Structure formats: C-alpha cells, structure tokens
Amino acid sequence: MPFSRSDLRKCRRVVIKIGTSVLFENGGLSRNRLKVLSRQAAALKQDGREVLLVSSGAVGVGRLKLGLADRPKTLLLKQACAAVGQAFLMTAWEKALADEGLLAAQVLISADDLADRARFLNARNTLRTLLAHGVVPVINENDTVAVEELKVGDNDTLGALACALVEGDLFINLTDQAGLYQADPRRDPAAALISQVDKVTPEILAQAGGGGPLGTGGMFTKVRAAKRLADLGVASLVADGRSRDILRRLLDGQEAGTFFKPRPGKALAGKKNWLAFASRPRGRLVVDAGCALALTKRGKSLLPGGLKEVAGQFSAGSTVEVADEQGRVLALGLSNYGSDEAEKIRGRRSQEIAGLLGYCPAEEIIHRDNLVLAEGLV
C-alpha cells in the first residue's frame, strides 16, 4: 500500500525542524512560539511518539544580542553570532520544554562529524539513548566551529540528515509559509498551495527558489531535503509552524501544508542510509559500460575487471563515487581498497588480486551491500 496522509498517524519517531521565521516575532525570539511548540511536542510524546527538534535561530538571536543592524556577512561574524545566540536559544528551549514537563538536550552537529561512519554511529547512539530516556534533543549545526566547507549549511538539510541519522519515520519542516506553492506566493498572491508531492521532479526543485530575510533555507533546500528523505523512503511535510495546533493536525492526517510522499518500499536503513546522505566521497572510480550496467541494472558488486580509472587519494574503507566513462555518477560506495591498491588491480580478475598485492581482503572493490545507486541522490 502506498503511503498516504492517513499513514502519518502511525509515525512514531518524528523530527521537527523549526525555522528562524517561526521562532521570531516582532523582531525578536518569541517565548510564546517556543511555549506553543513545546506544548505540541509534549502532546506528541503523550501519544507515545519520540520527538526530536532541529532549531534554527542561533545566528538570528546572536545578531540581536550583538546589536548588529544587518545579517552577518562574514563567516567569523556568523560564528560569533551563533556562539552568543545558541546559548540563549538553548536556555529558552530548555525552559519552554521544562514548563511542559520535558527534558531537553542540546545536540550540536557538523557535517564533518557525520561524514565519518564511526562518529555517525556514535551520534546515532547518543540520540537513541536520549530518546530512550524520554529526552527531547534540540539539534542545531555546530556553527561556531564549522568552516564553510565542513558545514551542512542550512537547517533544512541538517534536519533531513538528523532524520536519516536516527532513522526517523517523519520529517516535519516548520516555516512561515503554508507549504510549497505553485509559484512564489510573495510575488504571486494567487499562487495555489500544493497539498501533495508524489515525486520531486527536477522541475519542482528548480521552481522552489528564493529565501527569507532571517534564515538561510528558502524553499529550495526544503524541497531538496524532502526529496532526499523521500528517496530514502521517509515521508516529510512542509507547513506553517505558526498555524494553530499544526503538529497534531498534520499527524492526524488532516490537510495542511505540503505532504511529500516517500518512495514506495522499505526505508533505506543502516549503512546505505549513511552512504546516501552523510558520507563524503574521497575519490572516484570510473567503470566500463559492462560494469556500469551490472551495477545499475543487475544488482552486482564492483569487480576490479570493470574498473577503468582511479581518481583521488583514498584509503580502504573510504566512500568513493562510481562514475561511467561519460562522467555520470552512478553510485556511492565503500571501497575495500585504497586508491593505490585499486590502481594495481584495475582491469584484472579477482583471482589475480592476491598475486598482485600479496593479500586479498575482498574479491570485489565495492561489495553490493556497501553501494547505493546515485538515482535520486541530490
């Protein structure tokens, strides 16, 4: 049975991202919004669900505290704002959740933490332990330490990543718009709200441009986050976080916001989920046409015989891209061999590996179990 809105009732582990535009009112952090959202989070927990929050707002609050008239432009100033604002934001969440009888935990994540499989698993275990103790994790990016290239960059992406990390059932992205519109409602007031997206096409993604004045997301990153989760088999919603009782209404399956249907079938779990989402490729393996077909159509592993070219320096166990000779990325996978070893066994038969290297830890360069096809990866 395909997943529909009424199935939202069954979602147990729910990741809720709250944008700066939802938390701010009249130019400042709104205690009332935090209170209302904490109350709704408490109601979800009462229903037996697990709730994780991904809260933006650190940079926005820090900017106000530092008395800056404009959005910080340099990375250093953004980091300074985040450092000031995060403490303040977290204190506000802690209080608001405590008023509803909930214990909050601050969890700061950077992309780099999650690109490493061991650290990814450690973060997952920490979050699971918090959930097992009934705690509500309040997640944000570790803005003060992450330089640009190590950053996730926006909390829509971070929220989806967090949802993949904990193998959540549902991602709810709360913003200051009712959902995804046919056209930008700020420019075209007659634009219609899209209630359901069955599949995020490149056109839908391209159409979702723009960004708000305070946060960093805009609709593009929201739709991209929803697409990535849909590809993993996880449902998501984009909705107005200021709208009354929004979380309960969404989880009741009522019409509100935009519902992004997950890909049919079981959600991509475990290592594949990490590969598709959080890992970072360290190199590239170019394969011939026969190997490309075997990987994409026949569910086979990548054997040295089909390998044409090894690019980049990487060690055994690294994530690598697999591409065809036309340069199209076909898959991401964990290489059993480092780049120097892969170069030595390139184009040879698996039986020759031991002779060529003096050892043979695996017959395949990438085992099927450690490979995800690029179809759907954005």
Residue 24 or 259 having the CB closest to ligand GLU: 24
Q: Smallest distance from the beta carbon of 220 to ligand GLU, in angstroms?
A: 12
Q: In the chain, which ranges are E strands?
A: 13-18, 24-25, 28-29, 50-55, 104-109, 136-141, 170-175, 196-197, 235-240, 258-260, 283-287, 307-311, 319-323, 329-334, 371-373
Rounded Cα gap, residues 212 and 210, in angstroms: 7
Q: Which residues, including other chains, have CB under 8 Å from residue 253's CB and lie 6 or more apart? A: 4, 5, 6, 7, 8, 9
* Binds ligand GLU by CB under 6 A, chosen from 18, 59, 225, 330: 59
Binding letters toward ligand GLU, positions 205-244, x by CB under 6 A: ----------xxx---------------------------
Q: Smallest distance from the beta carbon of 19 to ligand GLU, in angstroms?
A: 6
User: Which residues in the 117-176 window bind ligand GLU by CB under 6 A?
Assistant: 140-141, 143, 154-155
Q: N- to C-terminal Cα distance for the chain? A: 26
Q: Which residues, including other chains, have CB under 8 Å from residue 295's CB and lie 6 or more apart? A: 287, 302, 322, 330, 331, 371, 373
Binding letters toward ligand GLU, positions 310-349, x by CB under 6 A: ----------------------------------------
User: Which residues in the 256-315 window bind ligand GLU by CB under 6 A?
Assistant: none
Rounded Cα gap, residues 226 and 148, in angstroms: 23
Is the four-CA dihedral 205, 169, 108, 333 of positive or negative sign?
Answer: negative
User: How many residues in the shown chain lie near ligand GLU by CB under 6 A?
Assistant: 16
Q: Smallest distance from the beta carbon of 21 to ligand GLU, in angstroms?
A: 9
Q: What is the CA radius of gyration of the chain?
A: 22
Contact flag: residue 50 with ligand GLU (CB under 6 A): no
Contact flag: residue 57 with ligand GLU (CB under 6 A): yes
* Binds ligand GLU by CB under 6 A, chosen from 8, 14, 54, 58: 58
User: Which residues in the 66-105 window bind ligand GLU by CB under 6 A?
Assistant: 82
DSSP class of residue 113 equals H
Residue 108 or 310 having the CB closest to ligand GLU: 108
Residue 242 or 263 having the CB closest to ligand GLU: 242
Nearest to 120 by CA among 284, 319, 331, 265: 319
Q: Smallest distance from the beta carbon of 155 to ligand GLU, in angstroms?
A: 4
Rounded Cα gap, residues 8 and 365, in angstroms: 40
* Binds ligand GLU by CB under 6 A, chosen from 5, 20, 292, 301: 20
Question: Using CB under 6 A as the criterion, which residues of the chain lie in contact with ligand GLU when the complex forms?
Answer: 19-20, 56-60, 82, 140-141, 143, 154-155, 215-217
